[in-house]
Amino acid sequence: MWTDGDSTDEITVRDPAAPEDPIVAFSGASETQAEEAVSAAAAASDNWAATTPDDRDTILYEVAERIDANRDALAETLTREEGKPISSGRGEVSRAAEIFRFFASYARSATGETIPSSDPETLTYTVREPLGVVTLITPWNFPIATPSWKLATALATGNTVVLKPSSETPMIAKQLVELLAEVGVPNGVVNLVVGSGSTVGDALTTDERVDGVSFTGSTETGQHIAETVATRGIPIQTEMGGKNPQVVLPDADLEAAADAAISGAFGGCGQACTATSRLIVHEDVADELTAAVVERAEALSIGPGLDDPDIGPAVSAGENETNLEYIEVAEKEGATLQTGGGQPATPEAGYFVEPTVFTDVEPGMRIAQEEVFGPVLGVIEVADFDEAVRVANDVNYGLSASIFTTNMAKSRSFTKQIEAGVVKINGTTTGSHVQMPFGGMKASSSETQKELGQHAYEFYTHEKAIYRSDP
């Protein structure tokens, strides 16, 4: 059942490439409506947990089929709301289908262990059971992939959910939930709440009937939610910011390193938590690599996502203003602008910013320490491998990192020393495989609760230790 929002919050969805004409405007959900969504999830919880693994598996596979069948329509909605190039939108939709297929199998295999007992008359084993009701809070930058990896895992393990997507990209979330309803997910199992965090946030995280919270978004908001939820002692999963380094040593393939830097820094307009924001380069090859990166950056096309350029717009006026502010700060702090740094002459409308490269970046500068969620890359020169690792680790974040080298000893040492949850050897900082765990260290993530991968279901389940002594 779809219900109009009844709060005073006005949610206006705009195409960031043509923001003068809103796509849709509506009232957001109220706190009371958020509480009603939790009530619906709680009422459906026992029945959904009791469904057979076969039934949940079948439903999630069917969701994947529906996503694939509707790929083009879903991608167009995604691009119109978020702005990314349509080819990237199609790729994200296909990834969502892949995610549902992968986690469908966990409806059958999310299990416990048999453990040797100290007593020969006692059987000791563990079982995993669903948490119950979980709140899923998702961002705008991957508006179908991120909800999918949370939803698919939660549903496969028998939980009911309340999904709160970003107010910047609510329509793609609505279409995803509609597909879930079409394949027969029972009423109350999946509930969508579109509203501002200030209005519905507490209702979705502090309600006593909520048994777990999974959040992806800004570090500030994630830390606030974690602190709020901690008082209740329920599981909390947070995926937050990044300040991801790409280290390049003198023996690296510089062409491949330049390609990776461009993809990592400017793909998706730099709006990814795993985006490459620091290019840490050995001084012996810094000039050559910088020249290659600048040349590639200046060749990138910019335009509306539906035209499938290399770079689309930032998602909103606020995000674009922040990008331009960071560029101004970097120049004031003494970094040297090599290319970009402003809004392109064309397109005339939309939230566009040129792909920007700075050199002479010092590790303590704000551009080297703070997350810039846009197409801005800072080049930092270092004298040797040890300095490169020190600089890479000298931030509050620890999500993703990469190194380009042909030296196996150096790459092994890097994987041991780097403070990051995702480490790439001769690859870009962005991208992840559904079968691999995803999460970071330090201020990037709740480190013990990973998403994706073979054990992602652990967050969404309780583990019980069973001692069985038959009479």
Instruction: Based on the fold, state whether residues 358 and 299 are members of the same structural domain.
Output: yes
Dist. CA 392–CA 414, nearest whole Å: 10
Domain annotation covers residue 4: no
Give the H or E element holding residue 327: helix 317-332
Say what the pLDDT of residue 35 is: 97
Instruction: Based on the fold, state whether residues 229 and 252 are members of the same structural domain.
Output: no
Domain annotation covers residue 327: yes
Q: Where are the beta strands (DSSP E) in 112-184?
A: 114-115, 123-130, 133-137, 160-164
Dist. CA 82–CA 370, nearest whole Å: 23
Residues 168 and 140: beta-carbon distance below 8 Å: yes
Domain annotation covers residue 185: yes
> For residue 83, what pLDDT band results from cuts at 50, 70 and 90?
very high
Domain annotation covers residue 400: yes
Instruction: Based on the fold, state whether residues 328 and 295 are members of the same structural domain.
Output: yes
Instruction: Based on the fold, state whether residues 210 and 267 are members of the same structural domain.
Output: no
Instruction: Based on the fold, state whether residues 404 and 260 are members of the same structural domain.
Output: yes
For the stretch 404-429, pLDDT in tens is: 999 999 999 999 999 999 999 999 99
Averaged over 321-342, what is the pLDDT?
Answer: 97
Q: CA-based angle 57:60:61, to the nearest 5?
A: 85
> For residue 69, what pLDDT band results from cuts at 50, 70 and 90?
very high
Both tokens assigned to 469: 């002594």
Amino acid letter for position 168: E
Pick from 229, 226, 187: which is nearest to 207 by CA? 229
Instruction: Based on the fold, state whether residues 208 and 63 are members of the same structural domain.
Output: yes
HEC readout, 424-439: EECCCCCCCCCCCCEC
Residues 347 and 339: beta-carbon distance below 8 Å: no
- 170-182 helix and 53-69 helix, angle to the nearest 10 degrees: 130
Dist. CA 150–CA 446, nearest whole Å: 15
Dist. CA 394–CA 416, nearest whole Å: 16
CA distances from 340 to 256, 328, 363 (A): 22, 12, 21
Whose structure tokens read 């059971």?
129
pTM over 0.75: yes
Instruction: Based on the fold, state whether residues 200 and 112 are members of the same structural domain.
Output: yes
Residues 148 and 100: beta-carbon distance below 8 Å: yes
Domain annotation covers residue 435: no
Say what the pLDDT of residue 448 is: 63
Instruction: Based on the fold, state whether residues 31 and 59 are members of the same structural domain.
Output: yes
Beta bridge partners of 125: 114, 466
- 121 secondary structure, DSSP code: T
Domain annotation covers residue 432: no
Domain annotation covers residue 418: yes
Instruction: Based on the fold, state whether residues 263 and 148 are members of the same structural domain.
Output: no
Pick from 409, 398, 427, 83: which is nearest to 239 by CA? 398
Contacts of 455 (CB under 8 A, 6+ apart): 437
For the stretch 239-270, pLDDT in tens is: 999 999 999 999 999 999 999 999 999 999 99
SS3 of residue 10 by DSSP:
strand
For the stretch 126-169, pLDDT in tens is: 999 999 999 999 999 999 999 999 999 999 999 999 999 999 99
Say what the pLDDT of residue 338 is: 98
The boundaries of the domain holding residue 400 are: 244-425
| Other CB atoms within 10 Å distance of the CB of residue 282 | 21
Domain annotation covers residue 230: yes
Q: What is the dihedral of CA 376, 337, 418, 289, to 10 degrees?
A: 110
For the stretch 204-223, pLDDT in tens is: 999 999 999 999 999 999 99
Both tokens assigned to 126: 């563990």
Domain of 384, CATH number, reads: 3.40.309.10
| Biggest alpha carbon–alpha carbon distance for the chain | 82
Amino acid letter for position 30: S
Instruction: Based on the fold, state whether residues 177 and 256 are members of the same structural domain.
Output: no
Pick from 401, 378, 410, 430: which is nearest to 251 by CA? 410
- 179 secondary structure, DSSP code: H
Dist. CA 142–CA 430, nearest whole Å: 13
Instruction: Based on the fold, state whether residues 269 and 373 are members of the same structural domain.
Output: yes
Both tokens assigned to 343: 């809004």
Instruction: Based on the fold, state whether residues 181 and 36 are members of the same structural domain.
Output: yes
Which of 273, 376, 392, 456 is flagged as catalytic?
273
Residue 269 annotated to the active site: no
Domain of 19, CATH number, reads: 3.40.605.10
Residues 382 and 361: beta-carbon distance below 8 Å: no
Number of structural domains (the chain) is 2
